[in-house]
Structure 1
């Protein structure tokens, strides 16, 4: 969307294709079309004026898109339910730590305290006691959770989960896919669980791998206009690394490459 001009000031093929893709999408969203016109997102109109497809094409070619218009909210591209929940949570997190507090919000204060707990290996009981002391020292109406459980529950709404996967204590395998139902390692024969029970939910594994799914983390980067802009670095600047590989990828996957918001992941081996 923003890689508009070449060095000699000509429109890039990528930008022309991107404008066409945007217009095709915008005019397909009938709820946002009025008398064969939609809002123009050019640098001057900024979605305040309605124009037809040809007029918007000229505006975008000559002026470019308005800054940070990566999610086309005025043209039918709305946040998902998950994204809307996150935005609601962030708005709630902007609540002051207590009425009139200018230096800390509820979310920023609890994030710092949880970080302190992790760095110092603080026990849950100690954390609960610390919250009680803070609550007694602060003005009436302070927005402080009652205990560690409530604090974790609040932060958990950020929606960046991890997945627990049982692993062999000797790192032979992880109990996943074809190994998911095994009770011992097929290589070293070591048991999967410390205790035996008829109910697997009550059995404690010897080792647990915590996997951080990448998809929700990448989605979060696009939910902020500041970080989303950095995600488009490859379309806004010249980069010397792996130029031939990058160009070959663009040729092989033109539909994917035409939208700079698409994410490419490379495999790095040592």
Structure 2
């Protein structure tokens, strides 16, 4: 892979370099016959087609010239180039808004440089763990709605979850906002419609979380030397919810009255 492909996102700043580089891309792609459709068409990497559509070389040239390359596509894996892990210092700045698109790299960081393969080239379906990585990569590269350059599906979900935590938003409020936004966007949008679907989609990140019982009045944590206590040292409140099971019925698992969710910084 070339060390410098900044020309890919210099359509407006350096038109000559962009056009020269585009011709080198087309020449490379058409010579990788194993990655064509068999009749001379190649995958189009423009912002709309996103390597999902095969087209003739003239059509790809016209699409990319008019729309630009899909975000952060400096490794031409869909045209036959070996996948390469992209370290942070090689991230390309987007031509339109000047911001870094870090979400795809975040998924690569989680997966590790040796664990990614182009899913279109696998001889067998990926295992569930690998499929999660591919789903996250797709979410990182999928706009919230067609032609949206502001949010990807992944960036929208992570920012919504951040807003929920910072503002102590209830799940009901989160669901109502998600439903309203989804209805306001074009019909073929990728906006999740509920907190449950957002949390399910983000589960592929594999972020660890520990649940720690705490006093219902926020006096203390049942942690360390206090992990076996059944009532608060300060206010005397019970650690567990009252068990209202019928007399003689099978004993149910005791449920903490309140819990704290802790995200460790290290494994």
Q: State the TM-score, normalizing by the size of structure 2.
A: 0.41
TM-score norm. by structure 1 comes to: 0.41
Structure with a larger share of its residues in helix: 1
* Rg (Cα) greater in structure: 1
Compare relative contact order (CA 8 Å, sep 6+) and give the higher one, 1 or 2: 1
